[in-house]
């Protein structure tokens, strides 16, 4: 086990006997103690060396008082821990020194049992401050990396949008030209192959759209405001029902549900949840989709979208929110597996969380929370 390096103390006291005794005593305790009777000489050493961890200075000195010494020392090395030594009659001055950056003070005359805990606490405070600064630097570096990654993601999104769509259009276009040029000579098997190509192109275009939507949720700037979730749900439900006019369905929407969040992002989130519920009730005789709000044990609201559709086995619930993860076959319920990943990113971007409860053939309920500023 490697022992930590000894900590360096810069001790300043204009009384030479007292300075020597203090240096010898603290050196015996494992510190590297360097003493000066001159404040200016001590500051010169600090400028040249800059390896000191703590300054222990007398408060009342003829050349420069301890307050001025501490102020200058911290200008040279802001990471220093500073402690002043003072008599009983100058406590107010010691407090003034602490306002200038001293961590603590020691009253004279003092014992070793008094000095050591004060020095130990001051060094611990310095260590915590340095660790905090390192943490902030690391966080800043990670933030810059994240910003760079988001820019790369944006570039990738545009690349996907343009570079992948162009060959898809070409595939679809040439397939149409081929069929037209062949005319009546296209047999049923060739027509089936062509239909498969068209279906693949359509699916790829949908997947590109979903990927771009997922990427946009990461970099979209938030604009929080009160949002009428009830009105949003009703609007989305009417649109879904209008797209399947012959399909019976029951929509149950709780009234007057207001939340605080970004209107555009919350719309995308609800569109995905409601479209999922509508899709997975496609084989249910009488589809029922419900939007509402429940209060958790701590009193905070949890919003939900519930359906009576296909449901799923909860042992696979951990896969729900990963991109391209699907719990049902493409043949039974078409989709790209990106919608719930988008929903989760939007909820997390708002500072909330999302989870699900379900059982096979017994429907599913997706719960989500929004940050404490939300209003039910």
What is the tens place of the pLDDT at every residue in 20-61?
A: 988 998 999 899 999 999 999 999 999 988 789 999 888 888
pTM: 0.53
Structure tokens at 264: 């555009």
189 membership: H or E segment, kind and range: helix 188-219
Residue 374, pLDDT score: 41
Domain boundaries 224-368, CATH class = alpha beta
Q: Is the dihedral of CA 227, 230, 233, 237 positive or negative?
A: negative
Comparing 79-83, 94-98, 273-277, the range with the smallest average pLDDT is: 94-98
Domain-wise residue ranges, the chain: 8-110, 144-218, 224-368
Residue 375, pLDDT score: 43
Q: Name residue, tokens 């693949």.
A: 200
Q: Model confidence at 305, in pLDDT bands (50, 70, 90)?
A: very high
Q: Are strands 81-87 and 301-307 parallel, antiparallel or unpaired?
A: unpaired
Average pLDDT, the chain: 82
Q: Model confidence at 367, in pLDDT bands (50, 70, 90)?
A: very high
- For domain 8-110, the CATH architecture is 3-Layer(aba) Sandwich (3.40)
Q: Where are the alpha helices (DSSP H) in 12-111?
A: 16-28, 39-49, 66-76, 91-99
Check residues 29 and 375 and name the one with the higher pLDDT. 29
Which residues, other chains included, contact 329 with Cβ-Cβ below 8 Å and sequence gap of 6+?
none
Q: Are strands 249-253 and 104-108 parallel, antiparallel or unpaired?
A: unpaired
Q: Model confidence at 185, in pLDDT bands (50, 70, 90)?
A: confident
Residue 191, pLDDT score: 81
Among 328, 309, 337, CA closest to 203: 337
What is the tens place of the pLDDT at every residue in 125-166?
A: 888 888 888 998 888 888 888 777 767 766 666 666 667 777
Residue 236 has pLDDT above 50, yes or no: yes
């Amino acid at each position: 086990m490697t022992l930590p390096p000894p900590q360096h103390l810069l001790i300043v006291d204009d009384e030479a006997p007292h300075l020597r005794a203090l240096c010898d005593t603290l050196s015996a305790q494992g510190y590297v103690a360097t003493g000066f009777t001159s404040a200016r000489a001590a500051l010169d050493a600090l400028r040249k060396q800059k390896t000191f961890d703590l300054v222990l200075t007398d408060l009342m000195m003829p050349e420069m008082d301890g307050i001025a010494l501490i102020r200058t020392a911290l200008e040279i090395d802001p990471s220093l821990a500073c402690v002043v030594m003072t008599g009983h009659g100058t406590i107010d001055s010691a407090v003034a020194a602490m306002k200038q950056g001293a961590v603590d003070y020691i009253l004279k005359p003092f014992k070793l049992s008094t000095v050591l805990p004060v020095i130990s606490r001051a060094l611990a405070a310095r260590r915590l401050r340095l660790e905090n600064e390192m943490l902030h630097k690391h966080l800043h570096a990670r933030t810059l990396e994240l910003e760079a990654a988001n820019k790369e993601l944006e570039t990738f999104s545009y690349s996907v949008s343009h570079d992948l769509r162009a060959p898809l259009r070409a595939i679809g276009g040439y397939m149409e030209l081929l069929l037209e040029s062949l005319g009546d000579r296209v047999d049923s098997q060739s027509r089936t192959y062509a239909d498969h190509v068209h279906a693949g192109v359509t699916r790829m275009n949908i997947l590109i759209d979903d990927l771009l939507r997922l990427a946009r949720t990461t970099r979209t700037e938030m604009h929080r405001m009160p949002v009428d979730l009830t009105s949003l749900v009703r609007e989305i439900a009417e649109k879904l029902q209008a797209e399947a006019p012959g399909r019976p369905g029951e929509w149950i929407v709780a009234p007057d549900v207001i939340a605080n969040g970004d209107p555009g992002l919350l719309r995308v989130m609800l569109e995905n949840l409601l479209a999922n519920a509508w899709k997975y009730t496609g084989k249910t005789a009488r589809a029922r989709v419900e939007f509402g709000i429940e209060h958790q044990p701590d009193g905070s609201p949890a919003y939900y979208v519930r359906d009576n559709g296909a449901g799923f086995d909860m042992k696979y619930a951990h896969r729900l929110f990963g991109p391209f993860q699907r719990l049902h076959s493409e043949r039974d319920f078409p989709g790209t597996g990106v919608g719930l990943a988008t929903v989760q990113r939007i909820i997390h971007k708002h500072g909330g969380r999302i989870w699900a409860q379900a059982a096979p053939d017994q429907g599913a309920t997706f719960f989500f929370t929004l940050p404490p500023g939300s209003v039910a």
